[in-house]
Amino acid sequence: MNTQAQRATSVRVAPDHLRIANRMLVPATTRAILWDMDGVLIDSLGLDFKICNQLIEAHFGPGKSIDDPFIQSIFALHPPAFWEKIFAELATRHGVRADEATRAGILARYEEARVTTPFELLPGIAEILAEARRLGLRMAVVSNNTGNDVRAILERSGILAPFDLTVGNDLEGFRKKPAPDGYLHAARLLGVAPDQAVVVEDSLLGLEAGHAAGCHTIAVATGGTPFEVLAASGLARQVQSAFTPLELVVAGGDIRAKRILTPNDFVSHMVEHIAWRLGVAICLDWNNDLWFELGRLLGVELALLPRRNAQAAALGMIDDGSAEILIDWNSADHGAEFLSGGGVDTGWFLALRCEQAASGRPMWELMNGLALGLGARIQVRLCSAEDPHHAWEGIYRTLGIALRRVIEPPVVPVVALPDAPAAKPVESRFTLEEKTANHCRAIRVTAESALSLSVDFTRVGEHRFRFEVADSIRVDGFPALLALLADRAGFSLQVECRALALSSSHVVLEDTALVLGRVLFEILKIRMEESGVNGAGSSVRAPEDLHAPIRVGISVEGRKFLSLVPLAGDHAALREGFLIGREVAGGIRSEDLDDFLDGLVGGMSASLMIHFATIPDPEAGWPMIFAQLGRALEEAFAPNPQRKGMPPGVKATLL
């Protein structure tokens, strides 16, 4: 392996962090690690999934069971409280009640199974424990199980030896988690101050205990609580998705060859923008939300590539998001500066949620870390921000363009990317089938989604919708909105969408709209040539329609244009009160519905105007938009023999 290969596969760690087995980062001041047991060290959740329903059916008969999500939701509770929840759920779900003897018997068999069954260690734990001992760190287990059970479980699982002590929930005078007593006791016995100890937990109860003790808390989503819930709690100083190895490889060669895995797919997408525009292949595995450190490591790697210039600037955009960026290696002030252009309030913008991120903090921390790792000053001027995810994409696309002007990326591979299926290029394709004046089907496959969509103006079939998306995406109410639009427009709609590779909620809505728009565009062109069609329409048909709260007009003119017009009030009020940061129809994000409109006009090559008499409540306003849009489409697709062969608009062409 050459020098570059050795460098690229080694993940650097900032001086204020200690890397343990290349799987966990802790503060450099750490002297002890205090571990929870269940769901952190051992896969006890897997045993719960298996044994709980065995015990239930043995006592209450076949068909009486509890589903895995419920078991996972109560996983953090100690066994007696855990089973009280299960007994209550059995009574609600199946109408069965357990007497005291049955309860005691089930609990006894469950606890016996826990102390006699060797648990599987969670991946990476053995390596971390061995490395922590080699580094001289003290270690303890602090559990909501009894002390004897903790020692028995650890011994049978083969990991009792690395720990200096164990603390159970049965010490006299000590309160159970979420009280801090156990962690304070462990730190005291190990001879370390609480702020020199790291607590590793998988539950909110445990995090609350570690936080109250004054320890550095690390949450890990390997037990019963999802990553997003742990991150949103405010109790964790950092959150990990797993104990997988950290890896970063930047290489020349095919820029389509990439694997970028972080706990937040939108952050991954920002890294992808940098690599794509800079022109490098990348393999990144990052298991935590220390975004500043990720940016710093990426900056260090990029700084080692040959440099063209010491300064560069760029202007870039995606849809309605645009930015200007300056990179200056001559500056002694290393870091990122966020400036406003076009009247955008940067404080407001940074506070906006964006996809899986509750705010812009992860993306801005990534930028600051990158600047420090590069050893440069990065000045970001945000010029247009109608939609936070478009704006951030515009910023990071611009950053990649600017980096290309100061860095000379390798043309040929310097080091091979790790061999992984996800690192292989994805072949995109788009096909249209069964095109007629009443029906068209399209199949679109990209790196982000695979989508099949059919429109049928004969309405022979019923609406059918199937969306396979990541758990973090809420689209349950989307089919109802699509059905509302299709019903008003006069066609049946069938959609199958799979979007699991990139957990981005806007991708599902925008890609569906793009394909729907393209299918409608193809049908309209056929109708125009065969018999003539209006090609333009609106929801305003009679004088009383001018009093509707929302009015919609659409014209298929061979160009994309979208405008939402507040007739009373300004656009900023519409944006902040209706378009951004709202949830409707069971959790759909308002900004993603805005992306649907944008995707639809892009697919149809159409101009779309939406007039707002007042700014409505989003829950009522968005269904109204879909209904009025459907009504406008109905008129646009209506026959007009006088316009045979003629599209609307002065361009008089549809390509």
DSSP result, 443-468: EEE-SS-EEEEEEETT--SPPEEEEE
Instruction: Please say if the pLDDT value at position 93 is more than 90.
Output: no
Q: CA 342 to CA 381: how far, in whole Å?
A: 9
pLDDT digits (tens, 9 = 90+) for 196-234: 999 999 999 999 999 999 999 999 999 889 998 999 999
pLDDT of amino acid 652:
56
pLDDT of amino acid 505:
80
Residue 12 confidence class, pLDDT cut points 50, 70, 90:
very low
pLDDT of amino acid 466:
96
Q: CA 331 to CA 376: how far, in whole Å?
A: 6
Q: CA 414 to CA 526: how far, in whole Å?
A: 51
Q: What is the 3-state secondary structure (H, E, C) of 488-500?
A: HHCCEEEEEEEEC
Superfamily of domain 23-41+120-240: HAD superfamily/HAD-like (3.40.50.1000)
Contact call for residues 606 and 557 (beta carbons, < 8 A): yes
Helix (H) or strand (E) holding 469: strand 464-469
Residue 327 confidence class, pLDDT cut points 50, 70, 90:
very high
425 secondary structure, DSSP code = P
Cα angle 602, 604, 610 (rounded to 5 degrees) comes to 75
Instruction: Please say if the pLDDT value at position 502 is more than 80.
Output: no
Contact call for residues 226 and 242 (beta carbons, < 8 A): no
Determine whether domain 423-523 maps to CATH 3.30.70.1060.
Answer: no
176 secondary structure, DSSP code = P
Count other C-beta atoms under 10 Å from residue 58's C-beta: 13
Average pLDDT, the chain: 90
254 secondary structure, DSSP code = -
**What residues contact residue 640 under an 8 Å CB cut-off, 6+ apart?**
532, 533, 534, 535
Contact call for residues 209 and 177 (beta carbons, < 8 A): yes
pLDDT digits (tens, 9 = 90+) for 23-35: 999 999 999 999 9
Q: Token pair of 390, please?
A: 């478009």
pLDDT of amino acid 6:
29
CA-based Rg of the chain, rounded to a whole angstrom? 29
What is the maximal distance between C-alpha atoms in the chain? 91
Q: CA 651 to CA 540: how far, in whole Å?
A: 24
Helix (H) or strand (E) holding 204: helix 204-212
Instruction: Please say if the pLDDT value at position 546 is more than 90.
Output: yes
Go through the chain and tell me how many residues it has: 655
Q: Token pair of 564, please?
A: 């939402």
Cis peptide before 639 (omega within 30 of 0): no
> What is the CA 436 to chain-centroid distance, rounded?
39
DSSP result, 510-553: HHHHHHHHHHHHHHHHHHHHHT-B--EEES--SGGGGGSSEEEE
Q: Which of 367, 334, 360, 366 is nearest to 346 (CA)?
A: 360
pLDDT of amino acid 501:
67
Helix (H) or strand (E) holding 201: strand 197-201
Query: What is 247-406's CATH topology?
Result: Ribosomal Protein S5; domain 2 (3.30.230)
Instruction: Read off the pLDDT of each residue in 578-592 and give the average, rounded to a whole number.
Output: 92
Q: Give the whole-number percent of the chain exceeding pLDDT 90.
A: 66
Instruction: Please say if the pLDDT value at position 517 is more than 90.
Output: yes
Instruction: Please say if the pLDDT value at position 651 is more than 80.
Output: no
Q: Which of 71, 63, 166 is nearest to 110 (CA)?
A: 71
CATH of span 530-643: 3.30.230.40
* The amino acid at 425: P
Q: 308 or 648: whose pLDDT is higher?
A: 308
Instruction: Read off the pLDDT of each residue in 255-271 and give the average, rounded to a whole number.
Output: 89
